[in-house]
Amino acid sequence: MTLLWQIGLAVFGAVFGAFLSFVLPILINNERHKKRPELLGSWKSSYRPDFRDWTSTVTEDIEIDLHLGKLRMRNAKNPSDDAYVVHAKLIERVYIIGRWRSLKPGANAFGAIILTVSPLGNLMCGYFTGLGNTGERTYCGWVLARKEEEINTAVELLRISTLGLLKND
């Protein structure tokens, strides 16, 4: 009986430990993200779909919510019907760092993102990276704003803060 009791306790401990190792980080990250509730909700997004083309931009809607302890960003109203999801962490209450992947059936596009939240919390500026259509690594500017009329302000902030790397000067 003692051996069965010890085996039962060992199995229970292992299962309980595995459960806690999954749940505790989610709870901790949810609490961390709740400190910046203004990041959640609807945003306007603008980016260049091709880093070689300085004239084309895509503007779409982004919805940010919490999912399994991380920020989840999903796009909508994309003019070329591209669909993607970003899972990211909020670092130091200012930086959003994560990974994106395409949701298009059959697509294997993926990459990383880094965004900086403006001091007023109404703009985000940064970059995403991934593979281009011909397999080359791409780095493209990406801005988000609470209101569509603030997109140009975010683009200018990104341009200034990156010493004009986004524009052929």
Q: Where are the domains of the chain?
A: 35-161
pLDDT on residue 54: 67
Structure tokens at 40: 């959640």
114 Cβ contact partners less than 8 Å away, ≥ 6 residues apart: 95, 96, 97, 126, 127
Structure tokens at 157: 């902030």
pLDDT on residue 24: 67
CATH number of the domain at 35-161, out of 1.20.120.1080, 2.40.128.20, 3.40.1190.20, 2.30.30.100?
2.40.128.20
pLDDT on residue 127: 93
Structure tokens at 117: 């939240």
153 Cβ contact partners less than 8 Å away, ≥ 6 residues apart: 123, 145
Pick out the chain residues at pLDDT < 50. 166, 169
Q: Indicate the pairing of strand 123-131 with strand 70-76.
A: unpaired
The pTM of this model reads 0.77
Strands (E), 48-160: 58-67, 70-76, 84-91, 95-102, 110-117, 123-131, 137-145
